Amino acid sequence: MKIEELTIKKINTGLLKKEFSAVEICKAYLTQIKKRDKEISAFLTVSEEMALSLAKKVDEQISEKKEISMISGIPAAIKDNILVEGLKCTASSKILENYTAPYDATVIKKLKNQGVVILGKTNMDEFAMGSSTENSAYFTTKNPHDLKRVPGGSSGGSAAAVAGNLCVFALGSDTGGSIRQPASFCGVVGLKPTYGAVSRYGLMAFASSLDQIGPLAKTVDDCQIVFEEISGKDKMDSTSLEIPKVESGNLEIGKLKLGVPKEYFVKGMDAKVEKIIKEAIKKYEEMGARVEEISLPNAEYALACYYIIAPAEASANLARYDGIKYGYSVADENENANLLDVYLKSRGGGFGDEVRRRIMLGTYTLSSGYYDAYYLRAQKVRTLIKNDFEKAFKSVDAILTPVSPTPAFKIGEKTKDPLTMYLSDIFTISINLAGLPAISLPAGKVDGLPVGLQIIGNYFEEEKIFKIGKILEKNA
Ligand code: GLN
């Protein structure tokens, strides 16, 4: 069987029928990484030894006729801001260059318990701040569809690893679009779960009220399988929740009501991308779904609101990298450095430009005198954005939008101007502010480059958006 065609279910069936062993599958992926990752550069760390020993355990269980789960023996890649015990975890930052994770994140514990084979850690924008992986302190990951282009970000390594068939699925994190935008750029499926659906314990915090871990895979079905394995309440994360059983309603396509927000077809959007999204929406309509125009009037404030709230939370979360507790420290090089020097020089030398920019923005908006005008006001706008969605979901089952206004851009194209980089998240950010689930799935191609459709669901209606996604996937 060709590696490009493997899915979780196909590997599971093959393992049970003894067509191949978990070690053989693992080796096939390790070989693929050796061959292709030289040009893609998706991985920061390849954990060959750990992967082979996890795969061996699965083979032992099979030979002892023990029951294995659907994801046993499935090779996966993990974004480098999620802790895997014993592996380096850098968040693509110099400040954590020599940091080794002392424990497993809850999602990793869950995956390991089910026999998932962890192949390694993937490249990202430093501390998940960015949309292209160009903010990695190590190297830029290339888009497997065109090596001159970015894979998106910040989970660009994870998306490129799936698209390049270097793993079956990957985990990413999404604070403002970091799973969905790279999924769209790399032509894979990516889910940002409902806030609280997946434990954040062991995820390096960027903006805690927005961050969620989610899967990237080749198919909606694979994404769903992984999501079901990693979700659920965790006592180590008080914001996590047991997923309430939401009646996914009658999902006959004839009764499906889909909303298309008029504010999402904006000036400056690539006309070819718009055409593909409109065609995908039309497909749903032709199959019998009712498509109606809706309005999210506060959507235009989402970007401004996010770039106040996310840096504010980041400035607080990143205060822990102080050159004392762990990570890079000038005190290691200079015994005579005084305390202030240790703080300032370790942080100044350890963090990259974008991270420093966000810390400064966040510190400014939180400082007394500015707090009310910026942070407090942004929180109020956040509520308005959330209310818009709540109103919309009274009349529609799901909302369809583009993921990104353009396909993957060229490496270097936006690095000079942070504002144009921020704009590439214009369609994904409001979903994090509202805490809703959304999936990005391939809708077509523009000049050979993939374009993703975003399906936004109501709280905890992941199952519904998976079903709606599968309809398009089947009819692509
Ligand atoms: N690109 C956005 C940012 O730079 C979102 C990042 C993310 O979702 N982690 O903040």
Angle at 23 between CA 19 and CA 28, to 5 degrees: 85
174 Cα: distance to centroid of ligand 1 (angstroms): 7
d(CA 1, CA 13): 12
Q: Is 386 a member of any domain?
A: no
Closest atom of ligand 1 relative to the 306 alpha carbon: 10
Write down the pLDDT at residue 310.
98
Write the residue with the smallest CA distance to atom 5 of ligand 1.
Answer: 176
Q: Is 447 a member of any domain?
A: no
135-139: long-range contacts at Cβ-Cβ below 8 A with a sequence spacing of 24 or more?
A: 135/92, 135/352, 135/353, 135/354, 135/355, 136/92, 137/90, 137/92, 137/93, 137/94, 137/97, 137/352, 138/44, 138/90, 138/92, 139/41
Residue 411 near residue 149, CB atoms below 8 Å: yes
**Cα within 13 Å of Cα(339), Cβ side:** 1
* Helices and strands in the chain, H and E counts: 15, 11
Full DSSP string of 19-88: SS-HHHHHHHHHHHHHHHHHHH--EEEE-HHHHHHHHHHHHHHHHTT----TTTT-EEEEETTB--TTSB
Closest atom of ligand 1 relative to the 424 alpha carbon: 1
**Radius of gyration for the chain, computed over Cα atoms and rounded to the nearest angstrom:** 21
Tally of domains in the chain: 1
d(CA 240, CA 23): 34
Write down the pLDDT at residue 247.
63
Write down the pLDDT at residue 267.
75
Domain of 22 in residue numbering reads as 3-230
Full DSSP string of 311-347: HHHHHHHGGG-SSSSSS--GGGT-TT--HHHHHHHHH
pLDDT tens digits for the chain (476 residues)?
A: 789 999 999 999 999 999 999 999 999 999 999 999 999 999 999 999 999 999 999 999 999 999 999 999 999 999 999 999 999 999 999 999 999 999 999 999 999 999 999 999 999 999 999 999 999 999 999 999 999 999 999 999 999 999 999 999 999 999 999 999 999 999 999 999 999 999 999 999 999 999 999 999 999 999 999 999 999 999 999 999 988 876 665 678 888 999 999 999 877 789 999 999 999 999 999 999 999 999 999 999 999 999 999 999 999 999 999 999 889 999 888 888 899 999 999 999 999 999 999 999 999 999 988 899 999 999 999 999 999 999 999 999 999 999 999 999 999 999 988 888 888 889 999 999 999 999 999 999 999 999 999 999 999 999 999 999 999 999 87
Residue 59 near residue 51, CB atoms below 8 Å: no
Q: Is 119 a member of any domain?
A: yes
331 Cα: distance to centroid of ligand 1 (angstroms): 31
Residue 407 near residue 152, CB atoms below 8 Å: no
CATH number at residue 97: 3.90.1300.10
Write the residue with the smallest CA distance to atom 4 of ligand 1.
Answer: 130
Q: Is 470 a member of any domain?
A: no
Ligand 1 binding pocket mutation candidate from 92, 123, 133, 154 (most atoms within 8 A of CB): 154
Closest atom of ligand 1 relative to the 129 alpha carbon: 4
Q: Taking each helix axis as running N to C, give the angle between helix 8-16 and helix 220-230, from 0 to 180 degrees, rounded to the nearest 10.
A: 80
Using alpha carbons, list the distances in angstroms from residue 198 to 103, 168, 229: 18, 20, 10
Closest atom of ligand 1 relative to the 179 alpha carbon: 8
180 Cα: distance to centroid of ligand 1 (angstroms): 10
* Positions marked active-site: 79, 154, 178
Nearest CA-CA partner of 400 in 287, 266, 264, 260: 260
- Which structure tokens are listed for 123? 């490249």
50 Cα: distance to centroid of ligand 1 (angstroms): 30
- Which structure tokens are listed for 236? 């180590």
Angle at 384 between CA 380 and CA 388, to 5 degrees: 165
**Cα within 13 Å of Cα(60), Cβ side:** 7
47 Cα: distance to centroid of ligand 1 (angstroms): 27
H or E stretch covering 122: strand 117-122
Q: Is 136 a member of any domain?
A: yes
Write down the pLDDT at residue 249.
58
Using alpha carbons, list the distances in angstroms from residue 142 to 31, 38, 53, 466: 19, 10, 29, 28
Write down the pLDDT at residue 329.
93
**Amino acid making up residue 228:** E
128 Cα: distance to centroid of ligand 1 (angstroms): 6
Write down the pLDDT at residue 250.
60
Nearest CA-CA partner of 428 in 223, 187, 222, 182: 182
H or E stretch covering 258: strand 257-261
Q: Is 288 a member of any domain?
A: no
Q: Which protein residues touch ligand 1 with a CB less than 6 Å away?
A: 128-131, 154, 174-178, 206, 310, 425
Q: Is 37 a member of any domain?
A: yes
Q: Is 155 a member of any domain?
A: yes
Ligand 1 binding pocket mutation candidate from 211, 212, 425, 430 (most atoms within 8 A of CB): 425
Write the residue with the smallest CA distance to atom 10 of ligand 1.
Answer: 129
